[in-house]
Structure formats: C-alpha cells, structure tokens
Amino acid sequence: GNGAQVTDIADLRKCVKQLEVRLENSGMLHENYAATRPPRVESIKVRIKRARGLRNSDVVPGTGLSDVYCKCVVLGKPTTGVRTRVVKDSISPAWDEEFVMADYQAGEHLRFQLFDQDIPFVKEDDYLGSVVLESSRFCPQGFEGELRLTGAGQGVEAYLEVKVKVKLLPDEEDLGDPPRSETVNSICSNESAGASNLAMILARLDDVYAVQKGLQEQLRRVEERMDIVEVAVTRTATPDLRGFS
C-alpha cells in the first residue's frame, strides 16, 4: 500500500544519503578527483637486499650449499632484466645491490626469481623460487620489506627482501607543456597494466613449469643413485669364482 511505498522511498533516500557520505569520505566527489592521472614514472630503483630460508639444491655430498643469484624483470619486458652477483655456499645470501630500471610504466609489475648456479653447459641452474611484486604495492609510494617466494620447494618457507623507489616525472603543467589528454593517459596506463597482468599469468605458468622441471631433475638424480647402489649390491652379492677354476 501507500504506507509501504513511503517507507520504501524513505529507505531509498537513506541509502542514497549513506552512499553520498561514503563517496564524500573517499574523495571521489572532490573536483580534483576527476583530474587524477596515473603517475608519470621516470624510472624505478630496485635494491635486492637478501634472501632467507632457501632450500639447498646442491644435495651431492661435498658440493657445499647453493650458489645463489637473483633476477628481476618488468613483467612483459624481457629486455629490462637485471641480475645480482652469485653468492656461493649459502641458503641465506645477501647482495644489497641496486639497479635502475628506466623502461617502466605505472601499472606494470616486477618479477623476482632466484636460482642456484650450476656448471655452465653441463647442467641448467636450479630454480629456487620466485615472487611477483604488483604495481599497486610500490607505485608511486615505494616498497621495502620481505616477499614470500612461491615454488621454493615442498615444506620450504623462503623470503626475499627488496626495496623499490619510484622517481616521478614533473607535472606537464610545471614544464609549460599543454596537458596531455586524460583519456590518452588512462588508455596508456590501462594498456600497460593489461599487458603486465597477462605477463603475470604467463609468469605463474612458467613458475609451475620450473617446479615440475626441478622435480624431474631430482627424480633423475635419485634414479642415478639407485643404479649405482644396485651395481654395488650386485658386485657384493656375486662371489668371485675365478680362484676355483
């Protein structure tokens, strides 16, 4: 009836008022909000500090611990890759190396991968884990802290500590240039973010492949050891009858 209708309208107005308050608190109703653009990034500085809790992939007795290095790349841009030096015989390596990555746009993610260096041209480097640092976590505010690695091994909880600083370009208005179209800025940012998100999915698949490949390599090593043990057992169990002939 009419009473119910009035109540519904009153409730609707109450809901609208609550939404207005939320929007006002969020800043979306401010006149400056519509002019907000994605940050214009000149470059980023990535400091790869240290890792901890890594597994030891050098399981052969007498070979020591892993010889670890870390790679960083802007997802979807393989040519941006940088790499630390190798820290030998360690499962808690410390590098504290800084790299400047100029080919970066807001919305793109960073990928870190850790490897154990093996003998070149003889055996591929062992995969020790990786992590993707999403753009929203460091651009433009920067980031410093530990990131948990995925694919570090069964039951292994490993971490990588990094620091990322973002250097922004001056506002175009400050330079006296005509302001760039908001639509163009938004499209560029969305395209960059979309490509980086697709690259992140591919990176996840690559991590899965790397883990499977590592498991296959471990299985191959176990089979080789079993063959050696089997030969040794066979030789021990077979009597030497040459002296009785």
CA atoms within 13 A on the CB side of 80: 22
89's CB contacts (< 8 A; 6+ apart) are 64, 65, 66, 67
Predicted pLDDT at 120: 77
Predicted pLDDT at 20: 66
Predicted pLDDT at 177: 53
Predicted pLDDT at 34: 44
Q: What is the pTM of this model?
A: 0.63
- Measured CA to CA, the distance from residue 185 to residue 26 in angstroms comes to 22
Total residues found in the chain within this entry: 245
Nearest to 126 by CA among 211, 61, 48: 211
Question: Which of the residues in the chain have pLDDT under 50?
Answer: 1-6, 33-35, 181-187
Question: pLDDT tens across 201-239, in order?
Answer: 767 666 766 666 666 766 776 777 777 777 777 767 666
193's CB contacts (< 8 A; 6+ apart) are 106, 107, 108, 135
Predicted pLDDT at 2: 46
DSSP state of 27: T
Predicted pLDDT at 51: 98
Token reading at 190: 């969305």
